[in-house]
Copies of this chain bind each other. A is one copy, B any other.
């Protein structure tokens, strides 16, 4: 049976010093409970570092099942606001906002999402032995071959990002024949190598001669760089450095 009515009562509440009369709603959805808990935290009723009531207590207060409370609290825990542990109870986290979720779109989508026309140019595509540095990054043998691809992503015919990529031909031999004028290396790999895990890093770098020439900027300008190693079934498949044009920002809402 779902309950749809609210009621006003004086609640048996261990936090009574903050409350005189408490409007106790029958909260029937875990979203409502999440919001309620969130606002109590933001209002300072439940302070960072303290333990909040148990699932059973909250279920009684909100007149819903424990599972519903659990779902709401787990959602807040996933957001980093609560710290939950068996026996220990549920604690309001100190330092609440600690995670930024950044979208890492395919560059074509990123460009088109800004309302620009996307185009990519292949600057260089060469099959070769990997350099020691690349061997280390991709955990490769000395005698294998990799494909080295340099390309430029354009937005409305302006350089948007310069890409320097190494592809492990042991894992995706077909990449040697890929026609990168029709589809970017990134998207080819996405479509032909299945799902992947990987590591991403961001940092700032002064533009070298190669980056400056391709992006049309001065040498030494600060570039935002994305570096990524992609793996399939634990085998490194590609290592890529993406040098964005000067002024590029990534942003997100916490």
Contacts and interface: CB of A to CB of B under 8 A. Distances in A.
Contact of A94 (B42, B99, B190): B190
Given A98-B103, A100-B101, A101-B101, A254 B203 contact: no
B254 A200 contact: yes
A205 B248 CA distance: 10
Interface in A81-140: 81, 94-106, 109
A49 to B, nearest CB: 9
B190 A206 contact: no
B202 A205 contact: no
Nearest to A67: B67
A113 B253 CA distance: 25
Number of identical protomers: 2
B248 A203 contact: yes
A101 B100 CA distance: 6
A233 interface: yes
A99 B97 contact: no
A251 interface: yes
A95 B105 CA distance: 8
Contacts of A224: 202-204
Nearest to A247: B203
Contacts of A206: 206, 220-222
Contacts of A105: 95, 98
A198 interface: yes
A194 B42 CA distance: 6
B254 A201 contact: no
Contacts of A250: 201-203
A223 interface: yes
Contact of A199 (B95, B98, B191, B252): B252
A48 B191 contact: yes
A232 B224 CA distance: 30
7 contacts: A42-B195, A100-B104, A197-B254, A199-B254, A202-B224, A203-B250, A206-B222
The 7 closest A-B pairs by CB, nearest first: A204-B204, A201-B251, A222-B222, A204-B222, A204-B224, A203-B249, A206-B222
Given A42-B232, A100-B103, A197-B254, 17 more contacts: A41-B195, A48-B191, A94-B190, A95-B106, A96-B195, A97-B198, A99-B101, A199-B254, A201-B251, A201-B252, A202-B224, A203-B224, A203-B250, A204-B204, A206-B206, A220-B220, A222-B223
